[in-house]
Amino acid sequence: AQSVTQPDIHITVSEGASLELRCNYSYGATPYLFWYVQSPGQGLQLLLKYFSGDTLVQGIKGFEAEFKRSQSSFNLRKPSVHWSDAAEYFCAVVSSNDYKLSFGAGTTVTVRA
């Protein structure tokens, strides 16, 4: 069965600084990976996805993620964070057999002025 680990529970970053959120996955076959963001009181919004091809994927809101098969990682990055990026971020992997989505526990991002 697939699984996702997000090692960082909480990250605090200054506005304008760079951000990197870590994600490690476990899956036997080619993984299909997602990053979702959840703002307070909101549902999950898809930031970006990786299915195949270029290992550096671009998403919405200036986010990007890099797939590294050798490290089983799919880390999310943003060069310069804005106060509106304060939210909870979830990495997820989907099974290509049954399309089931497995989420990590999430990383809460706090942005300080």
Partner 1 sequence: EAGVAQSPRYKIIEKRQSVAFWCNPISGHATLYWYQQILGQGPKLLIQFQNNGVVDDSQLPKDRFSAERLKGVDSTLKIQPAKLEDSAVYLCASRSPGTGVYEQYFGPGTRLTVT
Residues at the site binding partner 1, with contacts judged by CB under 8 A: 4, 32, 34, 36, 41-46, 49, 51, 90, 92, 94, 96, 98-101, 103-106
Structure tokens at 72: 């089983």
Nearer to partner 1, 64 or 103 (CB): 103
Instruction: Report the nearest approach of partner 1 to the CB of residue 103 (Å).
Output: 3
Nearer to partner 1, 18 or 58 (CB): 58
Instruction: Report the nearest approach of partner 1 to the CB of residue 91 (Å).
Output: 9
Nearer to partner 1, 19 or 91 (CB): 91
Instruction: Report the nearest approach of partner 1 to the CB of residue 43 (Å).
Output: 4
Instruction: Report the nearest approach of partner 1 to the CB of residue 17 (Å).
Output: 25
Q: What is the DSSP string of the chain?
A: --EEE---SEEEEETTS-EEE--EEE-SS--EEEEEEE-TT---EEEEEE-SS-SEEE-GGG-EEEEEGGGTEEEEEESS--GGG-EEEEEEEE-TTT--EEE---EEEEEE-
Give CA–CA dist 64/44, Å, rounded.
17
Nearer to partner 1, 85 or 106 (CB): 106
